[in-house]
Amino acid sequence: MNRPRRPGHTDGDRRPFRHPHPTVRLDTWEKALNSNANHQDGPSDPATGWWTRAVIYQIYPRSFADSNGDGIGDLPGITARLDHLVELGVDAVWLSPFYPSPQADAGYDVADYRDVDPLFGSLADADRLIAEAHARGLRVIVDLVPNHTSSAHEWFTAALAAAPGSPERDRYVFRDGRGPDGAQPPNDWQSVFGGPAWTRVTGPDGRPGQWYLHLFDTGQPDLNWDNPEVRAEFLDVLRFWLDRGVDGFRVDVAHGLIKQADLADWQEPQEILSGQEVDKPRPPMWDQDGVHEIYRDWRRVLDGYPGERILVAEAWVEPAERLARYVRPDEMHQAFNFEYLLAAWTAPAQYAVITRSLEATDAVDAPTTWVLSNHDVVRHASRLGLPVGGRRPNGIGIGDPQPDAALGLRRARAATLLMLALPGSAYLYQGEELGLPEHTTMPDEARQDPTWARSGHTERGRDGCRVPIPWEADAPSYGFGPTDASWLPQPPVWAEHALDRQRDVPGSTYELYRTALRLRRAYRLAEGPLEWLATGDEVLSFRNGALTVLTNFGDAAVPLPAGGELVHASAPLDEDGAVPTDVTVWVRTA
């Protein structure tokens, strides 16, 4: 564990976000709708289910709130901060993994699917978190990691001790190597984190033995989903957490469980962040048709429980029509829309991805989802501060081209207001409501993501978006925990982004999000439909119910939509009342 000291505290600007803010008026009918009481039992209805309109907030437990001062966030820390999420106005939380794990990939290497790592607390802490969230009208989604276990899982230990061809080895993907002594990997697949996707084991006799497949780190052996025992095990894991009251599962690497049977060579490099391009053949390790049968089985389990429990696919799959197959009526409820996350900040690119996304999910009667940030990508307040159309980096560090922070935040705020006005369900990543940037100057020695080492120090990886978040500007570790300890170093800019510097400060990013979420609910924006008004090269504008939404991507200011009342804006209008560059406005026109 790495516990760097807290970086030097700077005073910063005490009013970094101050600017005039448009007046927001809520009518009585809007107020009546503006409640968090959105939590009812009932059949899982694709037209009205809670998830079809939900804003779901991703908590990365290591970095949200640390209750005991060891520098690592934990479940009691989350429970103590739940009121923040109620105040923000989200409907649900999704928790990244908190299960027992050697933490080779920050907990996405699970050693026991039915317990809590002591680092994060206990099962009793998980029960309490679920109960306290429910008491506040917040749903709870947990992360399920079915593509691979940790190499510390008892199944893998048993597989290593057993002979080739044994039932223990058959739960994973073991193969003999190629070449005279089997010294070459069974195929040429690359790990997502860099390097070969195979590692050779030493047999019980002490001699080099078979190889096992790991699409990610060596500590994450891939399971063999053709083995009925693996399938049965995960049905049971689902029930374990459903019985504890969770409202759903975010399914990690949902497109990876089934591999092409012949494990054919695939000359291409591997990247977690790039979707499969439309005109390329499908890689033998991703998006195989066999995965869908697994999710149909899971859906039947969820549907057997009271309430509306959901499955959310993390599937880096393109095109949108292919992704939509994961959310057919008898499979998952939602899939992350990574094509949207990856889209360039131009009017044509945003228009194209929004229309494609809506069409693809409409065709299977599923809600469209939207997301701009998560724990695997450069935070959007920094990503959007990089040159438009350039290479999208996997992490940013010292010596790399640095994003334009002010431009990035301005565009991020505009992008968020555009996103939250779209019909469907939206995902937020902890800290984006504070306008947090990526930590782009983190010392390389502090990095923990296996990507950095496995790529031979060419890809810095994902630590920069995983830094413990700031709550109070003047407290140790910016209020993350009771001590200075923080498992990744926090940059000095955290002071000006801390929640207590933004709460009730007009124009702050936190207040921008809060107001947007309140209005989104009041105007029923999640329900749509969306009707395009302008789809040019510089301006995107659409109607959603009583609101007209406009984003200006062009160089010149454009007029505010006529005949309406401005209810929200990502930045102040100019002196003439026009909408400046990189600004989104919400105007009430009906």
Q: Which residues here bind ligand GLC, judged by CB under 6 A?
A: 105, 108, 145, 216, 252-253, 272, 314, 375-376
CB of 8 to Ca ion, least distance (A): 24
Q: Which is closer to ligand GLC, CB of 314 or CB of 318?
A: 314
Q: Does the active-site annotation cover 252?
A: yes
Looking at residues 47 to 66 of the shown chain, list those that interact with Ca ion (rule: CB under 5 A): 66
**How big is the chain by its Cα radius of gyration, in Å?**
24
The option from ligand GLC, Ca ion, none interacting with 145 (CB < 5 to 8 A, set by class) reads: ligand GLC
Give 427's strand partners: 56, 371
DSSP one-letter code for 547 = E
CB of 210 to Ca ion, least distance (A): 39
The option from ligand GLC, Ca ion, none interacting with 372 (CB < 5 to 8 A, set by class) reads: none
Q: Which is closer to Ca ion, CB of 36 or CB of 68?
A: 68
| CA 455 to chain centroid | 22
Taking the C-alpha atoms of residue 98 and residue 91, their distance in angstroms, rounded to an integer, is 21
Do residues 466 and 106 touch, judged by C-beta distance below 8 A?
yes
Q: Which of 105, 109, 252, 339 is catalytic?
A: 252
The per-residue DSSP string of 50-104 comes to GGGS-EEEEE-GGGT--SSSSSS--HHHHHHTHHHHHHHT-SEEEEPP-SS---T
Write phi, then psi, for 250 (nearest 5 degrees).
-95, 120
Q: Which is closer to ligand GLC, CB of 50 or CB of 108?
A: 108
Taking the C-alpha atoms of residue 400 and residue 380, their distance in angstroms, rounded to an integer, is 17
Taking the C-alpha atoms of residue 104 and residue 91, their distance in angstroms, rounded to an integer, is 31
Q: Which is closer to ligand GLC, CB of 241 or CB of 478?
A: 241
Q: Which is closer to ligand GLC, CB of 258 or CB of 583?
A: 258
Q: Does the active-site annotation cover 314?
A: yes
CB of 67 to Ca ion, least distance (A): 6
CB of 22 to Ca ion, least distance (A): 40
CB-facing half-sphere around the CA of 329: CA atoms within 13 A: 7
Looking at residues 63 to 102 of the shown chain, list those that interact with Ca ion (rule: CB under 5 A): 66, 68, 70, 72, 74
Taking the C-alpha atoms of residue 184 and residue 187, their distance in angstroms, rounded to an integer, is 8
The option from ligand GLC, Ca ion, none interacting with 66 (CB < 5 to 8 A, set by class) reads: Ca ion
Which position's Cβ is nearest ligand GLC? 108
Taking the C-alpha atoms of residue 92 and residue 79, their distance in angstroms, rounded to an integer, is 13
CB of 587 to ligand GLC, least distance (A): 37
Q: Which is closer to ligand GLC, CB of 331 or CB of 449?
A: 449
CA torsion, ordered 452, 143, 322, 261, to nearest 10 deg: 70
Q: Which of 314, 433, 463, 484 is catalytic?
A: 314
CB of 148 to ligand GLC, least distance (A): 7
Binding site for Ca ion (CB under 5 A): 66, 68, 70, 72, 74
Give me the active site residues, please: 252, 314
